[in-house]
Amino acid sequence: MHKTTDRRQALQTLAAGLAMTATAGVSLAQHPKEIKVGLLVPLSGLYARPGAVMRMGAEMAIDHINSAGGIKAMGGAKLKLVVLDCGDTTEKAKNAAQRMVSQETDMVAASGSYLSSFTLAATEVTERAKLPMLTLSYSDLITSRGFKYVFQTSATAAAQAEMALPVVMKLAESSGMRPKTVAILTDNTGSSVASVKPMRERLLKDMGLTLVMDETFTPPLADATPLVQKVRTARPDLLFALPTAVSDAKLLLEKLNEFGLGQGKLPTIGFGIVMAEPDMLKTMDASQLEGLMLAVGSWGAKGHEKLMAELKTRYNEPWMTQNAISTYGDMWVIKEALEHAGKADREAVTVALRKIDGGPSKYYPGGRIKFDDNGRRVDAGLTIIQWQKGVPVTVYPPELAMAAPIWVKK
């Protein structure tokens, strides 16, 4: 009798132990000590510099999140950044994305890929793998494909054009100049194409502007002379320039100055951050850039002073571009989603991203972090920056401005 009772108790104890082990296993799977997040950016080739800066922003964010206690909903689990080089072509970006999803099966979310063309290619892969992907890329196509796992934290290119043109025109008019004719000089990458599309179709006409020159080129440029000669012949009141490679931006601006079409003669407005990269000062004098204005998705601005100082000290960066601040913010958005999800699971993180309303909106212009059904950030705003005294500073919107905008008269 005693032996039967002892045997029953032993079996009950063993069963309880196995149940506890199984529960612990589930808990460990859902609450690991380390959670992988990805960063897919160009670290080699033509766009390596922007990718390196995105990595800086991501590293800073991961360090700040982990030092603040990690993912509290998962027992303080720490984030681990996994960085992959997407190279400088769409094919390389697609291959890198395939490596990421096949090798890092426990990755819960990622950010990338800088150039819209790369992001379009990479997200074809991450979508199939059901890996939530955040991006600062601008192209409207990124979130026009019915994808469920792509989230665009910047305003789309078309939306930026819609917001920027009225601001630029108002600034010009306040200085006593009313542009009547414009020229467009753009490369054929995804975000550039998306930016100029609404201008060509409607915006310029709505603003009372006549398009007198419209040229598209394929990066990288070997010689900007033919393009700038066409600008000089067209004699526009305003030039919209949309390169995406630093080398192309330098060639265009240097040639414009050489032909007497610098900022003092031809006001130039850019879309995208490339003409505000620190590398611009390596071969160009700051005076050649003075007054150049750029519409961008985000930038180091009022309220980011501590982050800007840390970036300067830690990485010797002179200022905080969109690549740093937006990627920094993306990591905090992923962190917020993990807190809501309560487990390291891609689907749960995706659901949390779609439900999130609030979060670290201070890292992006235009209000709260909330995504619509297409994955676009609701009420995403615009930042306008301008080269002033050798530094590109935020001049719009007023609540983020670190200097007043200046219109350089002809």
Based on the fold, state whether residues 390 and 248 are members of the same structural domain. yes
Distance CA 367, CA 380 (A): 7
- Same domain membership, residue 141 and residue 207: no
Examine the domain organization and report whether 170 and 291 are in the same domain: yes
pLDDT per residue rounded down to tens, the chain (410 residues): 455 555 556 555 544 444 444 443 444 445 689 999 999 999 999 999 999 999 999 999 999 999 999 999 999 999 999 999 999 999 999 999 999 999 999 999 999 999 999 999 999 999 999 999 999 999 999 999 999 999 999 999 999 999 999 999 998 888 888 899 999 999 999 889 999 999 999 999 999 999 999 999 999 999 999 999 999 999 999 999 999 999 999 999 999 999 999 877 899 999 999 999 999 998 889 989 999 999 999 999 999 999 999 999 999 999 999 999 999 999 999 999 999 999 999 999 999 999 999 866 788 997 679 999 999 999 999 999 999 999 999 999 999 999 999 987 65
In a domain? residue 14: no
Q: Which runs of E-coded beta strand occur in 297-409?
A: 383-388, 391-396
> Do 91 and 129 share a domain, yes or no?
yes
49 shares a domain with 127: yes
- Please check whether residue 247 is in contact with residue 46, taking contact to mean a CB–CB distance below 8 angstroms: yes
Q: Tokens for 94?
A: 């697609």
pLDDT confidence of residue 2: 52
Q: What's the pLDDT score for residue 8?
A: 57
One domain, residues 50 and 135? yes
Give me the phi and psi of 301, to 5 degrees please.
-145, -175
> Which structural domain range is residue 338 located in?
32-155+303-379
- DSSP letter at 99? H
Beta-carbon contacts of residue 361 (< 8 Å; ≥ 6 apart)? 367, 368, 369
Residue 221 located in a structural domain = yes
Say if residue 73 is in the same domain as residue 178.
Answer: no
In a domain, 3, yes or no: no
Give the sheet arrangement for strand 391-396, strand by strand: 210-217, 181-187, 238-242, 268-271, 293-296, 383-388, 391-396
In a shared domain, residues 38 and 135: yes
What backbone phi and psi angles, to 5 degrees, belong to 153? Answer: -90, -15
Same-domain status, 339 and 230: no
Phi then psi for residue 288, to 5 deg, are -75, -15
pLDDT of 174 reads 84
Residue 12 lies in a domain: no
| Distance between CA atoms of residues 72 and 74, nearest Å | 5
The pLDDT of residue 15? 47
Is the pTM higher than 0.85? Answer: yes
218 and 264 housed in the same domain: yes
**Number of domains the chain contains:** 2
Q: Does residue 311 sit in the same domain as residue 225?
A: no
Please, which residues bridge with residue 77 across strands? 71
Assigned domain for 24 exists: no
- As given in the structure block, the two tokens for residue 120 are 């379009």
